[in-house]
């Protein structure tokens, strides 16, 4: 086995048959003892750079020597980014990873530039090493004729003379803290399919999405000390607050949401799985894309526990007619140098320029390159696995604009065939990545991707004000900036008009608060400092009413309906549990708010006028005008007319109506129904009314 010889000579294969040599003195060269014709292109700072062309077989190893006796291995560097590389090594079969049977387990690893790969597997305390054979398309393979169920393993991969220990990017599970991959007998994965409990779901705008973190959901201890931060907390039923309000999954069922969006549950890097109290992280720091996070399981050392417990949690939601969306972080990894992927095929998985400078549109130090054929296939394979193995109902893609349109659409098409109710939405921000503009799955291309929905920051900014620290004091229409009234009607119509994002409201995820930035409760404290708690609370509920009664797809962040606070922390991704956790006792302190949001959800389901999909129908059937500084939105829905009145001012307003209406709801939800109609009404400061005739 050759390793790099320490010298002042380096040589790189950067394109097909194109070699770059870097040395400290002018020289002539040989390659595997053959003369190499090389041209000196420039010398600078005691370094000389040569270019040479040579017919290189990537499956072989080459040694470059100069006339002074220095030598080095030819390193395959940026050639992996060349389309020619994909032509040579694209592997289209679906058998990578460890394929288990009682008689044998076959291991396959795609490592096309590696000179040698060895498998190291462990049963009990005994570890064995087996050299793998390089076969077609750069795949190393070996079969071990033993029963290796639950065996731990890793690969030693020699790339360019550097040997690294590598996890298996296709493995189904790891041991604690992702030190080794595990051989899994898929026949022993518990099959629980509660999809029969799910009611028919056809249109994405029928969804009411609720975002939560597995960890935050149970860390206050209300669901039991034994399930703090665990998947199993979602299996707890019949648990109540002091005032006898249901908590946990029972609360979510009673709330009436249709989809729960789980913040990342795919393996992340910075939480100690054996001591979760040591450090907090949201999980947007992925170690890899193939294994469930171990800290959420009851036993991270048991490779089966995280799989089975994640499945049980998802199926528990299905049992109560709640679909599950997973937050997928495919745009970057926690580390570039130490990543699973870079150790196996250096440079291949990451966006970079021709000089090796990494793309950093994610602002995490690296961006995944979804234009490479094996990266594209790998990400698609992992999505298909999640849908098939875990029965998930959709994906929310973090920084989706760093990934390619083609990949996102392919994931949607493939997963939709498996699960007809499948949905995809994501962050469509136009990040400064090296992916060409025309390939990005971002908001600029939303109308080229009509099946995909996007987080609508226009809606957020118009309703409550822009976020981030430098916009802390920015107000929206419903929080005091009356000048945004024209934008307000556009947002309520689904952001489908001129200078807005979309052709259809089904592309719009309407949100005001999510895991990022301030909670709405904390934001209102900043932008409405002269208002009392009662006025801010009405503004909070009126904002939520706007989310649920606008055209598009409503999105709620866990706890915003009971005034969740993060104690003023704007970006709590690695703050403590004390900052991030849901406090279930807030249900008792904010009973009226919870009742109101339950009512809003019920009203949205009752009235079809809030779920239009046709652009022309929306523009022709939703009218708006200003009366006495309040904003009236008129929905025509069959034989019914629905009137929404929003008062974004700090004083109570009287409004004369064009006709007689029944009062249906205000910012606190349903009002007591009677037979009295009204031609004049009063709307409280920062309040809301819904009327019907």
Q: Write out the catalytic residue numbers.
A: 398, 427
CA-based torsion, 248, 250, 253, 255: positive or negative = negative
How does strand 669-670 pair with strand 126-131? unpaired
Dist. CA 486–CA 512, nearest whole Å:
18
Contacts of 228 (CB under 8 A, 6+ apart): 218, 219, 221, 276
Dist. CA 409–CA 413, nearest whole Å:
6
Number of helices followed by number of strands (H, E) in the chain: 15, 33
C-alpha Rg value of the chain to the nearest Å: 29
Other beta carbons within 10 Å of 254? 13
Q: Angle at CA 442, nearest 5°, toward 441 and 447?
A: 90
Residue pointed to by tokens 């939560």: 212
3-state SS class at 101: coil
Dist. CA 667–CA 683, nearest whole Å:
10
Residue pair 287/334 in contact (Cβ under 8 Å)? The answer is yes
> In DSSP terms, which residues pair with 240 in a beta bridge?
246
Residue pair 264/292 in contact (Cβ under 8 Å)? The answer is no
Residue pair 542/667 in contact (Cβ under 8 Å)? The answer is yes
Query: How far, rounded to the nearest angstrom, does the alpha carbon of residue 671 sit from its chain's CA centroid?
Result: 38
Residue pair 660/530 in contact (Cβ under 8 Å)? The answer is no
Residue pair 555/561 in contact (Cβ under 8 Å)? The answer is no
The separation between the first and the last C-alpha atoms of the chain, rounded to the nearest angstrom, is: 83
Residue pair 409/416 in contact (Cβ under 8 Å)? The answer is no
DSSP H stretches of helix in 550-649: 577-580, 586-589, 591-606, 615-621
Residue pair 508/501 in contact (Cβ under 8 Å)? The answer is yes
Dist. CA 464–CA 536, nearest whole Å:
12
Residue pair 181/171 in contact (Cβ under 8 Å)? The answer is yes
Q: For residue 594, what are its two tokens?
A: 């919870």
Residue pointed to by tokens 């249906």: 664
Q: Nearest Cα to 610, choosing from 538, 539, 657, 546?
A: 546
Residue pair 556/210 in contact (Cβ under 8 Å)? The answer is yes
Other beta carbons within 10 Å of 198? 18
3-state SS class at 448: helix
3-state SS class at 334: coil
Q: Nearest Cα to 474, choosing from 66, 68, 483, 654?
A: 483
H or E stretch at 489: helix 485-492
Dist. CA 356–CA 324, nearest whole Å:
39
Residue pair 186/309 in contact (Cβ under 8 Å)? The answer is no
Q: Nearest Cα to 565, choosing from 544, 547, 581, 587?
A: 581
């Amino acid at each position: 086995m050759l390793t790099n010889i320490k010298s002042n000579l380096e040589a790189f294969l950067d394109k097909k048959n194109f070699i770059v040599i870097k040395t400290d003195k002018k020289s002539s060269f040989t390659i595997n003892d053959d003369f190499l014709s090389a041209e000196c292109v420039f010398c600078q700072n005691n370094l000389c750079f040569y270019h040479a062309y040579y017919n290189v077989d990537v499956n072989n190893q080459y040694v470059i020597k100069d006339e002074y006796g220095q030598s080095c291995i030819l390193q395959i560097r940026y050639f992996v980014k060349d389309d020619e590389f994909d032509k040579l090594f694209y592997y289209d079969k679906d058998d990578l990873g460890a394929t288990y049977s009682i008689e044998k387990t076959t291991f396959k690893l795609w490592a096309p530039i590696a000179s040698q790969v060895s498998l190291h597997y462990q049963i009990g305390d005994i570890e064995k090493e087996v050299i793998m054979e390089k076969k077609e398309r750069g795949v190393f393979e070996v079969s071990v004729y033993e029963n290796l169920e639950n065996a731990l393993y890793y690969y030693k991969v020699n790339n360019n003379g550097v040997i690294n220990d590598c996890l298996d990017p296709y493995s189904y599970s790891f041991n604690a803290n992702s030190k080794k991959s595990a051989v899994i007998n898929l026949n022993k994965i518990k099959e629980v399919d509660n999809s029969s409990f799910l009611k028919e779901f056809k249109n994405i705008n029928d969804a009411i999405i609720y975002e939560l973190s597995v960890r935050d959901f149970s860390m206050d201890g209300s669901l039991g000390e034994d399930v703090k931060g665990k998947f199993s907390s979602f299996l707890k039923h019949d648990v109540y607050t002091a005032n006898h309000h249901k908590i946990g999954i029972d609360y979510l069922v009673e709330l009436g949401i249709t989809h729960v969006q789980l913040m990342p549950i795919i393996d992340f890097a910075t939480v100690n799985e054996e001591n979760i109290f040591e450090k907090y992280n949201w999980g947007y720091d992925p170690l890899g894309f193939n294994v469930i996070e171990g800290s959420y399981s009851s036993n991270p050392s048991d490779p089966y526990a995280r799989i089975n417990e994640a499945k049980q949690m998802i199926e528990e939601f299905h049992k109560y007619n709640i679909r599950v969306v997973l937050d997928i972080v495919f745009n970057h990894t926690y580390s570039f140098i130490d990543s699973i992927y870079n150790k196996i095929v250096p440079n291949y998985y990451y966006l970079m320029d021709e000089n090796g400078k990494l793309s950093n549109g994610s602002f995490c130090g690296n961006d995944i390159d979804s234009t490479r054929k094996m990266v594209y296939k790998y990400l698609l394979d992992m999505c298909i696995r999640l849908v098939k193995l875990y029965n998930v109902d959709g994906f929310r893609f973090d920084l989706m604009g760093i990934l390619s349109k083609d990949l996102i659409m392919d994931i949607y098409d493939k997963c939709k065939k498996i699960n007809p109710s499948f949905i995809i939405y994501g962050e469509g921000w136009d990040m400064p990545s090296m992916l060409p503009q025309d390939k990005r799955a971002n908001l600029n291309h939303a109308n080229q991707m009509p099946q995909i929905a996007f987080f609508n920051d226009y809606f957020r900014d118009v309703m409550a004000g822009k976020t981030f620290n430098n916009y802390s004091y920015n107000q929206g229409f419903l929080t005091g900036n009356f000048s945004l009234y024209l934008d307000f009607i556009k947002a309520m119509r689904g952001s489908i008009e001129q200078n807005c994002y979309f052709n259809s409201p089904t592309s719009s995820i309407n949100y005001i608060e999510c895991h990022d930035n301030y909670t709405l409760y904390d934001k209102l404290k900043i932008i409405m400092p002269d208002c009392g708690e009662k006025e801010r609370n009405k503004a909070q509920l009126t904002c939520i009413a706007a989310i649920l009664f606008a055209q598009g797809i409503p999105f709620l962040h866990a706890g915003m309906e009971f005034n969740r606070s993060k104690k003023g922390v704007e970006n709590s991704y690695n703050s403590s549990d004390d900052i991030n956790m849901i406090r279930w006792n807030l249900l008792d302190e904010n009973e009226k708010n919870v009742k109101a949001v339950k009512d809003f959800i019920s009203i949205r389901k009752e009235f079809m006028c809030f779920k239009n999909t046709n652009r022309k129908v929306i523009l022709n059937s939703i009218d708006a005008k200003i009366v006495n500084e309040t904003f009236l939105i008129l929905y025509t829905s069959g034989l019914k007319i629905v009137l929404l009145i929003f008062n974004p001012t700090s004083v109570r307003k009287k409004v004369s109506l064009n006709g007689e209406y029944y009062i249906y709801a205000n910012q606190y939800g349903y009002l007591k129904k009677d037979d009295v109609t009204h031609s004049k009404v009063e709307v409280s400061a920062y309040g809301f009314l819904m009327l019907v005739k």
